[in-house]
Structure 1
Amino acid sequence: MFEGVYPALITPFKDNSQKDLDLEGLESNIEYLISCGVHGIVPCGSTGESATLTFEEHETVIEKAVEVADGRVPVLAGTGSNNTVEAVRFTKAAKDIGADGVLVLSPYYNKPNRSGLVKHYNILADLDIPVVVYNIPGRTGQNLAADLIIELAQHPNIVAVKEASGNIEQMSRIIEGTQDLDFSLLSGDDGLTLPILALGGKGVISVTANIAPKLMVQLYEQFKAGDIEGARKTHYKLAPLSRALFIETNPIPVKTASGLKGHAGGPVRLPLDEMAPNNLNTLKEVLKNYD
């Protein structure tokens, strides 16, 4: 259902007072990304600083994304929480607004047991909206094992997993175990997009696509067309940028890069802070190689 390149949108702010979304900037960013050929957009993920958005802001950002996309590309809205009741609230809101699906990270901090995870995801899937499970153990403190993902995939509304564990063998096992289902694996690490496509993955939810959307789309399209050598060259063209965008905690570098490239970025919200000067200089040097 969800395939191709989906930028994980940043949420532009006018200042860091936690009061002022830059909705005009968000609209401009989305229009730019769509013009570059991306296959969908993802508001309110970790790159969108969802952890520091109020519920009202969360809803407003999704509304704006749906409005601007206007059916041209799917909107996959982040609605995860470590509180199932809150995740239900976010997910119902996204469905009512008109999102095409929801991206739900594994509950963080709680470290739920297996039965709790299954119930959590099934409750959200029962709301009758396509659910993409988000496995990112570096942020949640808990890996979602392949056999758990395969079990969750049996629910008809759990349609994909965004895999950011970095474990290629685990991803291979998930794809192997869901081949007979209408289920996709999407890369959650830009640098692993090409090998994941080679395993049978269907695309990427990408930070790098905010800054180099045409190249990310090119990589995907080259692979789909069977131009493996071309895709490999594009992969290595993108590699320095993908590394630089994680030189500090995401989304600090990508918001900084967005501003440097003339797009809407604005500050990050505390407890995140601006880049260290040495890292900022590194990022500026890397960006010189990308139009």
Structure 2
Amino acid sequence: MSKFEGVHVALVTPMTNDYEVNYQRLYEICEWLISEGVNGLIPAGSLGEYATLSNEERRKVVETVIEASKGHVPVTVGTGAPATKDVVYWAEHAKNSGASGVMALPPINYNPLENEVIAHYEALSKVGIPIIAYNNPRDYAVDLTPDLLAKISKLDNIVGVKEFSGDIRRVHDILEKTDLEVLIGVDDLAMEGPLCGATGWISGVPNALPAEGVKLFQLARAGKVDEAIQLYRKLIPLFHYDAEPQLVQAIKYMMELAGQPVGPTRPPRLALTDEVYVAIKEQFQKAINSPVTKG
């Protein structure tokens, strides 16, 4: 039985206008997302700007999300950090704070050898909390190929993989070669992923459109392809932003358009150009005003 089924939102981190973390808004956003039907929450990931947070802020972000969840949905904590010992620290903090699992990148500070990648996950496995390995060869040097995942999956607590390569064929290969749960990690494969056997989706744009994201994923998992395609085609122009380097700025703006403002991004992320904001707004309005999306 899958531990991480359904739509798990990779949370943004709300900020005030002077770039301080807005914990009250974070709590409110979590409550809203749960009320909209999402299946899980993921703080302190890339979309949550974890690399710009101090350790104190990061701890409080994780603890705020766990408190806001009230046990209604699982909280899976991002553990990204340059050193393995720091990744282990964040996994231990997540476990001690009551998280249901962690999401863990391979080593991010240089291009490691295969045995170093495996040793990294071995150290993390010893913490004793369920682990979703995070494959993101678009942004990091390591590619967790299906063959490498087959080796990593033999570790006790590795239960799933967030697959962000953008190659839908990976889903089939991972399911064939491992017993891992596959959670599709890029929004513009949110329909294809479950059709190919992914049981979860670690999502970005559903920060702003949670009910629509849940509906799409449920339709695809149920094999209702015609209905899923109609909804997917309305949302996919927005989903494409999830695979862009400026995904945080774009998704935070979508949340503003959805009536759930979360403030700016911290530098080095700066505001987007007016042209990009106009394009996002046009695509957002077209999506939400579609009879398919409304229905």
Q: State the TM-score, normalizing by the size of structure 1.
A: 0.94
Distance 2:286 2:28 in 1: 23
Distance 1:101 1:247 in 2: 26
1:153 counterpart residue number:
153
Residues 98-177 of structure 1 aligned to structure 2 (within 5 Å): 98-177=98-177
Distance 2:167 2:243 in 1: 18
Q: Which amino acid aligns with 1:121?
A: Y
Q: Is the Cα contact below 8 Å between 2:208 and 2:260 reproduced in 1?
A: no
User: Any idea what the Cα deviations from partners look like across 1:207-247, whole Å, max 9, x if unmatched?
Assistant: 01111111111112112333222122222121122124556
Distance apart, 1:250 and its partner CA: 1.8
Aligned residues: 286
Q: Is the Cα contact below 8 Å between 2:250 and 2:280 reproduced in 1?
A: yes
Residues 161-240 of structure 1 aligned to structure 2 (within 5 Å): 161-178=161-178, 181=179, 183-240=180-237
Unaligned 5+ runs, structure 2:
289-295
Q: Which moved more, 1:69-78 or 1:246-255?
A: 246-255
Tell me the SS of whatever aligns to 1:161: strand
Whether 1:7 aligns to 2:12 is no
- RMSD of Structure 2 on Structure 1 (CA): 1.5
Tell me the SS of whatever aligns to 2:160: strand
Whether 1:259 aligns to 2:256 is yes
Residues 266-277 of structure 1 aligned to structure 2 (within 5 Å): 266-277=263-274
Q: Which amino acid aligns with 2:276?
A: N
Q: Which amino acid aligns with 1:195?
A: E
Distance 1:71 1:203 in 2: 19
Distance 2:214 2:168 in 1: 22
Unaligned 5+ runs, structure 1:
none
Q: Is the Cα contact below 8 Å between 1:101 and 1:131 reproduced in 2?
A: yes
1:86 counterpart residue number:
86
Q: Is the Cα contact below 8 Å between 2:105 and 2:135 reproduced in 1?
A: yes
Tell me the SS of whatever aligns to 2:15: coil
Distance apart, 1:123 and its partner CA: 0.8
Q: Is the Cα contact below 8 Å between 1:31 and 1:68 reproduced in 2?
A: yes
Tell me the SS of whatever aligns to 2:108: coil
Distance 1:117 1:266 in 2: 36
Q: Is the Cα contact below 8 Å between 2:195 and 2:221 reproduced in 1?
A: no
Give the number of the structure with larger relative contact order, counting CA–CA contacts within 8 Å between residues 6 or more apart. 1
Q: State the TM-score, normalizing by the size of structure 2.
A: 0.93
Distance 1:223 1:246 in 2: 21
